[in-house]
Structure 1
Amino acid sequence: MKDKKQINIEVGTRIKCAREKAGLTQDRFSELIGMGPKSVSALERGTVGISLSTLQRICQVLSISSDDILFDNDIAENDAQMLTTRLTRLSSEQFEITKEILNKLFEAFAISGK
């Protein structure tokens, strides 16, 4: 069984990975979850543990499950779910703009063969 320190390090690493996948800086992430940047840094390094309320806020902001943070799941498996959740939160106008951008991007990929 893993000790508390090792669990904190693993949880912190998963939080950092999920934050980076979401394209958030540590400063912006700290604002969104209502913590100071130093506290987020300590959390990501595993020098402190995570409370349930903080875990809940992190999962809401990153559109992920607490299982992704607490257990050794591959966060990449949930990328499509995260994107879908983010798209549903957009206004109609923002969604249409995003859809146009994505369609242009997909067309560019098809033309370039990538």
Structure 2
Amino acid sequence: MLKKIRNVEIGGRIRKCRESLNYSREALAEKANLASSFLGTIELGTGSFTAESLIKLCKALGVSADYILFGKEEQGDLSQINAMLSGLDPEYIPFVEQLLSVYIQSISVSKK
């Protein structure tokens, strides 16, 4: 019973991450190189997965295994930022870096 509850919680966290990125189940499955039906069983908590599948999901979602497995994010955890950036077309990354740099500089200046 405890294993079932844990699997449902893990699947829920994966689904929540997927939905926050506006990925369909099929899109995430493709990005993680997993079968869509397999991902469905994981999200519903009816199936289990290997460490290799966990790694693929973490990379595709831009989140840590700690978050997926335990629901914990360390302070300073950048998984949400990683998740947002993971779905971005790589050609836009330099613009994001530039915007972030300017924003951080403005924070530094305002603190002085």
For residues 42-68 of structure 1, the C-alpha deviation after alignment (integer angstroms, 9 at most, x for no partner) is 110000112100000000111110011
CA shift at 1:89, angstroms?
A: 7.8
Residue 80 (structure 1) aligns with: 81
Partners of 1:69 and 1:48 lie apart in 2 by 15
> Is the CA contact (8 Å cut-off) linking 1:19 and 1:29 kept in structure 2?
yes
For residues 10-59 of structure 1, the C-alpha deviation after alignment (integer angstroms, 9 at most, x for no partner) is 11001101111122110111111122211111110000112100000000
Q: Secondary structure at the match of 1:49?
A: coil
CA shift at 1:80, angstroms?
A: 2.8
Partners of 1:5 and 1:78 lie apart in 2 by 26
Residue 3 (structure 1) aligns with: 2
Partners of 1:51 and 1:98 lie apart in 2 by 34
Gaps of 5+ in 2: 100-112
Query: What count of residue pairs does the alignment treat as equivalent?
Result: 96
Partners of 1:11 and 1:48 lie apart in 2 by 11
Gaps of 5+ in 1: 103-114
The answer as to 2:17 corresponding to 1:18 is: yes
Partners of 1:53 and 1:34 lie apart in 2 by 11
CA RMSD in angstroms comes to 3.1
TM-score normalised by the chain length of structure 2: 0.69
Partners of 2:58 and 2:64 lie apart in 1 by 6
Moved over 6 A (4+): none
Partners of 1:49 and 1:89 lie apart in 2 by 31
Partners of 1:43 and 1:89 lie apart in 2 by 27
